[in-house]
Structure 1
Amino acid sequence: MGHAVPVRVARHAQPGLRRRVVRPEQKRVSRQHPPQLSPWCFPAGRHRRLVSIVSKFFLLGLNARGELQQFDLIASNREDAQREAMRRARQAGVQVVEIGSTGGGRSGATRSSLPLAGLFTRRRFDLPLFVYELLVLLRAGLALTEALETLDERERQSRPGAAEEQGHHVLPELVRLMRQGKSFSAALAAHPDCFSALFIAMVSASEQTGGLTDALERYLQYHAQVSIVRQKLISASLYPALLMLTGTAVAFFLVWFLAPRFAHVYEGMPSADLPLLSRWLLDAGLLVSEHTLASLGCLLALLIGAAAVFTRPAWQRRCLALLGRIGWIGEMLKLMQLARFYRSLGMLLHGGVPLLPSLDMTRELLPFTLQDGLTRSMTHIAQGRKLSESLRHEGLTTTIALRLLRAGERNGQIAGMLEQAARFHEREITQWVERFARLAEPVLMLIMGLGIGSIVVLLYLPVFDLAGSLQ
């Protein structure tokens, strides 16, 4: 016989109505599972925190055929998005070009919470991202002006405090100029600090043929190929740079910490008995230890100054000119510049830009030593000579590029052959960079070991001399 379950009858029940019975287990369940509320019932701050748990990201990849592919990602933060993007890239077999966020709410909040960030960093206009977003909107069926207005509205909503950023005024200016009757290329040309001459020329040529979306996609492919080569160069130079910084830090520590202690040990010895190099090292150690903060400040200022100087284009050209005097390095630097020249020229010709204007716009991609040769080549082409012979006469072709250009002149595919030559030389450059990095790493380690070992030997050299004199 089971136990009776106690029930509670609701009081003040009206006669003729069915009594409502509330069981204890139902009461417990109702306490444990509160009714579901709409997200609009939460306070504003809490609701925003719940919504911002996940964000949308995108992955832009380059497949084996050289085509760009886009993948949509959902992650809680940028680190998770990068891990998911790497996994998706391995599955799809694509090369990662860019990982970005499709919504700027979080980044905008972070930027607004750091009011001093704008004093040290100035966000530049992201031309590849602008081209990609514009291409997506145009393919979705929007008119050009509507697409620009949409991008401007999204930019204002995602970064309301972007008044100090470079390029924040570009989109509304483009819309205003186009409404005044100017073409898209003319509106772009009004902002040369944000849009390159190559991009403006491609847009101008596409306006005559009606293939703006094809021109935008071609520019993205061009930027992706150039970015891949640049990323490989940077990744190959990171480890040697880290070795140099580590060696500098260790040498500074030895001079700052060990040299003063050895100097106190050698106080009783006459200065004439100390080797000259050891005496200089001990004096430098005493100076650094007595002015530690000033020494660290000078070292830091030297590093920052060197980084600021070498990031300027003028100093970069000077450094490249000095490196170009070394035989095998000069040949590889020239090959890198020619590969970029071939790719840019092929992109412009494929986009419908005439040959002579294309050569004139790609002149700045070459060093000063080759720009004069390109000018003479343009004169020869204007007189009726072939492109391949004109470039060969001025030393602007390689063996592979010359053969491909001649084949392109026969079948009318000069643009495609230029891109093939650029692709071939870029692959050759990346292989050379990888081999050079493998060679540079042990050489730098050897130099670092010799430098640190020399400091230690100079510190102990008076001890060795004293031991020899005692014997």
Structure 2
Amino acid sequence: MQFRAKILNQRMAVEHVDVDASSEAEARRFVAASGARVLDLRPARAGLKRAPRQKKFNLSVFNQQLHSLLDAGQTVVEAIEVLGQNDRRGRHRAIYDTLLQGLRQGNQLSDAMATLPSVFSPLYIAMVRASETTGTVRAAIRRFMLYQRQIDEIRGKISAAATYPAILLSVGFLVISFLLLYVLPRFSAVYDDAGPSRHGEAGFVQLWGSFVRNNTMLAWSSVIVFAAAVLALVLHPALRAMAYRKLLALPWIGERVLVLQLARLYRTLGMLLRSGISVLSAMRMTQASMPITMHADLTAAILAVSEGQAMSTVMSEYKLSTEVAQRLLLAGESSGNLDEMMERIADFYDEETAMWIDTAGRLIEPILMLAIGAVVGAIVLMLYSPIFDLANIV
């Protein structure tokens, strides 16, 4: 969330700044790290005039730069100092200063990161903390970079596949709304004195046009309400969760969506296990990053594993695996490389999802174009058929 802070800066001047933080305590740490003093701090409201929003901290770039510096032989403190000095515009200087302050007080890097929950996720912090005990921070950062790259890759494929259908639906909705609410009522006024045609199309045109002309506000308000409902469905978390549950209930699409989420589940578990985190801790941390619709099954699975049941049995019992995943989990348990098998399962699911996205995109786009074209063509035919009828062409 965003906070509006009134501060006394190092030049002893009072100014107002906007701070992005997860809590008031973190916002105060950000201000203190910059050398300023907080005079007043409150959550920013929509009605307040805000300063330009600060550019979001790019964790991927941070990881790449930190890994390169550590690989070059720099210590963690030296690497953070270099990164802070490299931030010449000072956009994220408070983050680097907060990390340096924690490190110079003798804290571990993970502890310093834990003071910035809006920047570093609990998953990332836990992975760094586990690697600090074995001295493999650099390897853990590289592993997280690979993990993030793989997640972003499949997410990018989904976004790219959904963009064109979304544009088609939006443009089709606007065109059809314009024809039904603007063009058709004006055409129907021309046919009012001509009476119904032999084929009945003009009767519908006259009926709909008369309704829209007499209830203009109601007709346009209905379109606006429908568009607002779709927008709320996309943006509102509770509505998205409800739509997601309905989507999972569908026979074909639900299976594909579940495979996508299982890929993320096993990818995260594999990364955490490879970083040295125990199975139960990894499952609990992974649960927090998964959709809420999967939490009940994951909670039951965690309880079963804590009671000594095998991972392969538990994941199958609570429908958190498929037959291929089941075989790989059994192989991982017998050979002791469960982390590697989980990453293989995630790779298999990602490849399956990528193939499905490609196939679905090739089918959905022409189907949408044909459907929208058919609706627009039907409306145009209804508009012009009465003219042909009046001219005795048909």
Structure 1 and Structure 2 fold alike (TM over 0.5):
yes
Match of 1:219 in 2: 144
**177-186 vs 411-420, which moves further:** 177-186
Post-superposition offset of 1:461? 4.7
Secondary structure class of the residue paired with 1:401? helix
The structure with more radius of gyration: 1
Match of 2:70 in 1: 138
Secondary structure class of the residue paired with 1:169? helix
Contact 1:202-1:215 within 8 A present in 2 as well: yes
Contact 1:229-1:426 within 8 A present in 2 as well: yes
Contact 2:70-2:79 within 8 A present in 1 as well: yes
Q: 1:212 to 1:304 in 2, by over 3 A?
A: farther
Secondary structure class of the residue paired with 1:268? coil
Secondary structure class of the residue paired with 1:327? coil
Secondary structure class of the residue paired with 2:252? helix
Q: Is 1:425 equivalent to 2:352 in the alignment?
A: no
Contact 2:201-2:382 within 8 A present in 1 as well: no
Secondary structure class of the residue paired with 2:133? helix
Q: Is 1:177 equivalent to 2:102 in the alignment?
A: yes
Match of 2:17 in 1: none
- Which one of the candidate residues 145, 164, 167 is aligned to 1:242? 167
Contact 2:177-2:223 within 8 A present in 1 as well: no
Q: 1:148 to 1:380 in 2, by over 3 A?
A: same
- Which one of the candidate residues 250, 272, 285 is aligned to 1:326? 250
Post-superposition offset of 1:422? 0.3
Post-superposition offset of 1:317? 2.3
CA distance in 1, matches of 2:139, 2:370: 52
Match of 1:233 in 2: 158
Matched to 1:322, the amino acid is K
CA distance in 2, matches of 1:372, 1:179: 42
Question: What does 1:65-464 align with in structure 2 at a 5 Å threshold?
Answer: 123-155=55-87, 157-158=88-89, 160=90, 162=91, 169-255=94-180, 258-269=183-194, 277-279=204-206, 281-283=208-210, 306-307=230-231, 310-463=234-387
How many residues are aligned here? 343
Contact 2:305-2:311 within 8 A present in 1 as well: yes
CA distance in 1, matches of 2:372, 2:193: 32
**248-257 vs 194-203, which moves further:** 248-257
TM-score relative to the length of structure 1: 0.65
Contact 2:264-2:346 within 8 A present in 1 as well: yes
Consecutive unaligned residues of structure 1, counting only runs of 5 or more, are 1-117
CA distance in 2, matches of 1:198, 1:134: 18
Post-superposition offset of 1:287? 8.1
Tell me how large the CA RMSD over aligned residues is. Answer: 3.3
Match of 1:110 in 2: none
TM-score relative to the length of structure 2: 0.77
Match of 2:46 in 1: none
Secondary structure class of the residue paired with 1:209? coil
Post-superposition offset of 1:229? 0.7
Contact 1:239-1:441 within 8 A present in 2 as well: yes
Post-superposition offset of 1:441? 1.2
Contact 2:189-2:209 within 8 A present in 1 as well: no
CA distance in 2, matches of 1:298, 1:375: 43
Contact 1:145-1:175 within 8 A present in 2 as well: yes
Post-superposition offset of 1:124? 2.0
CA distance in 1, matches of 2:234, 2:113: 30
Matched to 2:306, the amino acid is A
Consecutive unaligned residues of structure 2, counting only runs of 5 or more, are 1-49
Q: Percent identity?
A: 34
Contact 1:363-1:374 within 8 A present in 2 as well: yes
CA distance in 1, matches of 2:236, 2:96: 28
Contact 1:206-1:351 within 8 A present in 2 as well: yes
Post-superposition offset of 1:299? 7.2
CA distance in 2, matches of 1:387, 1:142: 40
Matched to 2:276, the amino acid is G
Post-superposition offset of 1:234? 1.3
Matched to 2:108, the amino acid is S
CA distance in 1, matches of 2:378, 2:66: 59
Post-superposition offset of 1:462? 4.0
CA distance in 1, matches of 2:191, 2:53: 50
CA distance in 1, matches of 2:94, 2:226: 36
Q: Deviations over 1:182-218 (max 9, x none)?
A: 2211221222222112111110101101000000000
Matched to 2:205, the amino acid is S
CA distance in 1, matches of 2:63, 2:189: 66
Matched to 1:268, the amino acid is D
CA distance in 2, matches of 1:120, 1:305: 30
